[in-house]
C-alpha cells in the first residue's frame, strides 16, 4: 500500500509555500512530479523577484525613482514597481520652520531690524 499524504485547503493556507511544495510532491502523478515541482519552484522564484522590485514609502516620506541620473517618478507615500536599472531613495517630508533677523541701515542712517519666519517643505 503506497504512502499517501493529504493536505486540506486550510492546511495549505497554514503551511504556505513549503506545504504546497510537499503536497505537490506527494499527491502529483508520477509522470508529472518533476515538471509540477519545477513549475511550482519557478513560480515561487518569480513571486520573490517581483516582491523585491516593489518599493513603497510611508505617508510622511518622499520616494524618488531615478533611472540614468534622471528623476522618473517622485511622490509622498508612493507605492510602485521599479525596473532592473532603477534606483530609489526615501526621505522625510516634514515641514521646516526657519526664523531670521536682519539689521539694515536706510539712506537717512536709521537702523531697521527685520525679523521673520519662513515655513518650507519639498515641493511635489
DSSP state of 31: G
The pLDDT assigned to 27 comes to 75
Let me know: does 11 contact 19? Beta carbons within 8 Å. Answer: yes
The pLDDT assigned to 13 comes to 52
The pLDDT assigned to 12 comes to 47
The pLDDT assigned to 91 comes to 84
Taking the whole predicted model, whether its pTM rises above 0.85 is answered as no
Partners of 25 in beta bridges: none
Residue ranges per structural domain of the chain? 9-52, 54-92
The pLDDT assigned to 60 comes to 82
Let me know: does 57 contact 38? Beta carbons within 8 Å. Answer: no
Q: Which residues of the chain, if any, have pLDDT below 50?
A: 1, 3, 5, 7, 9-10, 12
DSSP state of 28: S
Query: Environment class of residue 12 by beta-carbon count within 10 Å: exposed (0-12), middle (13-18) or buried (19+)?
Result: middle
Q: Determine the number of helices (DSSP H) and then strands (DSSP E) in the chain.
A: 2, 7
Amino acid at each position: 500500500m503506497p504512502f499517501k499524504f493529504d493536505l486540506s485547503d486550510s492546511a495549505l493556507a497554514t503551511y504556505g509555500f513549503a506545504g504546497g511544495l510537499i503536497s505537490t510532491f506527494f499527491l502529483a502523478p508520477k509522470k508529472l512530479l518533476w515538471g509540477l515541482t519545477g513549475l511550482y519552484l519557478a513560480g515561487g522564484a518569480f513571486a520573490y523577484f517581483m516582491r523585491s522590485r516593489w518599493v513603497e514609502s510611508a505617508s510622511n516620506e518622499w520616494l524618488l525613482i531615478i533611472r540614468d541620473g534622471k528623476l522618473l517618478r517622485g511622490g509622498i507615500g508612493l507605492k510602485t514597481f521599479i525596473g532592473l536599472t532603477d534606483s530609489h531613495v526615501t526621505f522625510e517630508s516634514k515641514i521646516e520652520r526657519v526664523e531670521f533677523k536682519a539689521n539694515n541701515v536706510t539712506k537717512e542712517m536709521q537702523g531697521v531690524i527685520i525679523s521673520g519666519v519662513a515655513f518650507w517643505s519639498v515641493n511635489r
